[in-house]
Amino acid sequence: MSCVTRRWIVPVFAGLLILAAERPAKAFELQSTAFSPGGEIPVKHTCDGPDVSPALRWTDPPAGTRGLALIGDDPDAPGGTWVHWVLYGIPPAVRELPEAVPARDTVPAIGRQGANDFKRVGYGGPCPPRGPAHRYFFRLYALDVETTFPPRQVKADLLKAIEGHVLGRAELMGRYQRR
């Protein structure tokens, strides 16, 4: 191999190694069997139906995850973002939530539930005023710590507690419009 070839290959190879090292870890994904990303949330999961939480599942969170937390909210609400679900203390080995998670402070093998903006514990489904469809975001946070605070916390308290501890975030958005 000539000196010119070596001078060209070594920097290119080194550059590729640096790019590979800087590439972020593969993001994890959040999905639902109830609706596709950007799709319509079925009435079953809204105040116009039985108002049960949708089943959610996710891929492996980033390495080092010690706990998971979920927030569901509506940024299109007339008075500002409306919180529909706060769930934390989800064990890192859990990869799904069943449909209709019970509205209890603590749900064994799932976690602790916070208060939503309906002033209730657990899931409160979409319930927008008549008009254009609203967007509903479900955000799952992979954390490098376990969340140990008690049930009934609100979104702001959870976000403050996990600040600086988020390893990754998965997001799913669905839409709902009252007819």
Position 15 pLDDT exceeds 50: no
Residues 149-165: what's their mean pLDDT?
Answer: 96
**With respect to CATH, is domain 26-176 assigned 3.90.280.10?**
yes
Q: Tokens 């060209």 belong to which residue?
A: 8
pLDDT of residue 106: 97
Give the single-character DSSP code of 128: P
Write down the pTM of the prediction: 0.85
Q: Helix (H, G, I), strand (E, B), or coil: what is residue 110?
A: coil
Provide Rg for the chain, Cα atoms: 20
Contact between 52 and 46 (Cβ < 8 Å): no
Q: What is the pLDDT of residues 91-115, one digit of tens each?
A: 999 999 999 999 999 999 999 999 9
Contact between 128 and 79 (Cβ < 8 Å): no
Q: What percent of the chain has pLDDT over 70?
A: 85
Phi, psi of 43 (to 5 degrees): -50, -35
Q: What is the pLDDT of residues 69-90, one digit of tens each?
A: 999 999 999 999 999 999 999 9
pLDDT of residue 179: 82
Cα–Cα distances in Å, from 33 out to 15, 43, 126, 153, 158? 42, 14, 17, 28, 27
In this structure, the number of other CB atoms found within 10 A of the CB of residue 162 comes to: 19
